[in-house]
């Protein structure tokens, strides 16, 4: 039987059910690379790049999503904004996942103390990295995380006490490690085997760059990169762990869902805004030109 906190973690509940979870990403980029809209992650979520709890609420009210990733690595999101975004997402019934800038214990602690249901760590290269991260996410005796935040428990329900949070958080928070370098690919089976690691997330663009097969033409990938992604997926499955991948469109996300990935991103906020405004402007321009031609 899941604990009350596990039951409150929508992402974990969805993963344990065996279905693909979809999400979004909240971030902030000055100008998204032209290929960004061709990326996806297998879980109902959005990539959040623009700061602001109101934006978090807007994304979290999107139907068919399970989680929102608040990106503090590449996103323009400060520590105080991250706390507000986590609270807003959790209040809407979705799981807030925080991508930290690096696998530093204090960064992980800040994300979990804000009440994140999951923490995502970039640039993991070795099993030793994975063990250090896992230790930082767990309370003793399983790890080294300190107890003290008055804000974390409420993101799992209004009646969760600090004592209950201490007892259940180790099992109720999702630890996601990004596999995006040649070194990580070489050690992926050892990384996957580390206790306390729940999900291996493929970062296809950085992985492609690292192994000498960058993604340069939209969604097109070299066979070697496809093989690397398949290797990561297989290593996670062999270790009884889940797999995730970053995507930039629902179509690409569906493709990885069909391959058995468990957590997939369908869009990020900047790309969504750019796409919607672009389509609206194009529709308006076409109508204006048509009216002009008719008037002539």
DSSP result, 220-288 = B--HHHHHHHHHHHHHHHHTT-EEEE-BSSHHHHHHHHHTT-SEE--EEHHHHHHHHHHHHHHHHHHHH
> Which residue matches tokens 């997926």?
233
β-strands 199-202, 242-245: how paired? Answer: parallel
Q: Which residues are catalytic?
A: 74
Residues near 48 by beta carbon (within 8 Å), at least 6 away in sequence: 24, 25, 26, 27, 55, 56, 59, 68, 69, 70, 71, 75, 77, 85, 268, 269
% of the chain with per-residue pLDDT over 90: 67
Given a contact cutoff of 8 angstroms between Cβ atoms, the answer to whether 46 and 247 are in contact is no
Looking at residue 289, what is its pLDDT? 57
Q: How far apart, in Å, are the Cα atoms of 160 and each of 156, 171, 228?
A: 7, 15, 42
pLDDT tens-digit readout, 12-53 = 999 999 889 988 888 743 333 333 333 333 344 666 666 689
Average pLDDT (262-287) is 84
- Residue 263 and residue 267: Cα distance in Å, rounded? 13
pLDDT of residue 119: 98
Q: What is the mean pLDDT of residues 80-92?
A: 95
Average pLDDT over residues 237-249: 93
| Cβ contacts of 176 within 8 Å, gap of 6 or more | 97, 118, 119, 120, 121, 198, 199, 200, 201, 244, 263
- Confidence class of residue 293 from pLDDT cuts 50, 70 and 90? low
User: Which of 47-61, 63-77, 171-185 has the lowest average pLDDT?
Assistant: 47-61
Residue 268 scores a pLDDT above 90: no
Q: Give the pLDDT mean for 142-160.
A: 94
Is residue 177 within a helix (H) or strand (E), and if so which, with residue range? Answer: strand 174-179
- pLDDT at residue 104, rounded to an integer: 96
pLDDT band at 140 (very low <50, low <70, confident <90, very high): very high
- 175 confidence band (pLDDT: 50, 70, 90): very high
CB 65 within 8 A of CB 45: yes
Region of 52 please: left (phi>0), alpha (psi -120 to 50) or beta: left
Q: Buried b / exposed e across 255-290, counting CB within 10 Å, b at 16+?
A: bbbeeebbbbbbbbbbbbebeeeeeeeeeeeeeeee
pTM of the model: 0.87
The answer, yes or no, to whether residue 257 has pLDDT greater than 60, is: yes
Would you give the end-to-end CA distance of the chain in angstroms?
A: 72
- CA 193 to chain centroid, in Å, comes to 21
pLDDT at position 37 is: 34
Residue 170 has what pLDDT?
Answer: 97
Contact 134, 145 (CB under 8 A): no
d(Cα 42, Cα 146) in Å, to the nearest integer? Answer: 32
At 269 the pLDDT is 83
Mean pLDDT of the chain: 88
**So what's the pLDDT on residue 30?**
33
């Amino acid at each position: 039987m899941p604990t009350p906190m596990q039951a409150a973690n929508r992402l974990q509940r969805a993963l344990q059910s065996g279905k693909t979870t979809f999400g979004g990403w909240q971030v902030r980029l000055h100008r998204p690379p032209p290929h960004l809209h061709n990326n996806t992650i297998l879980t109902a979520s959005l990539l959040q790049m623009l700061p602001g709890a109101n934006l978090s609420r807007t994304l979290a009210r999107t139907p068919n999503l399970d989680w929102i990733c608040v990106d503090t690595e590449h996103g323009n999101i400060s520590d105080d904004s991250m706390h507000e975004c986590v609270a807003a997402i959790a209040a809407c019934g979705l799981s807030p996942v925080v991508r930290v800038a690096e696998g530093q214990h204090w960064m992980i602690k800040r994300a979990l103390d804000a009440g994140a249901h999951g923490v995502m760590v970039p640039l993991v290269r070795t099993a030793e990295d994975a063990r250090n991260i896992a230790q930082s996410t767990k309370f003793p005796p399983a790890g080294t995380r300190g107890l003290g935040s008055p804000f974390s428990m409420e993101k799992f329900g209004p009646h969760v006490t600090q004592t209950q949070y201490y007892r259940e958080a180790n099992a109720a928070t999702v630890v996601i490690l990004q596999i995006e370098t040649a070194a990580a690919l070489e050690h992926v089976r050892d990384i996957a085997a580390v206790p306390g690691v729940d999900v291996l997330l493929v970062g296809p663009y950085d992985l492609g760059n690292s192994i000498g097969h960058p993604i340069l033409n939209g969604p097109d990938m070299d066979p070697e990169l496809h093989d690397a992604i398949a290797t990561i997926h297989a290593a996670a499955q062999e270790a009884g762990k889940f797999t995730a991948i970053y995507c930039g469109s629902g179509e690409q996300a569906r493709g990885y869902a069909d391959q058995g990935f468990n957590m997939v991103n369908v869009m990020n906020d900047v790309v969504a805004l750019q796409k919607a405004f672009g389509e609206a402007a194009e529709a308006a321009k076409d109508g204006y030109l048509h009216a002009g031609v008719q008037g002539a």
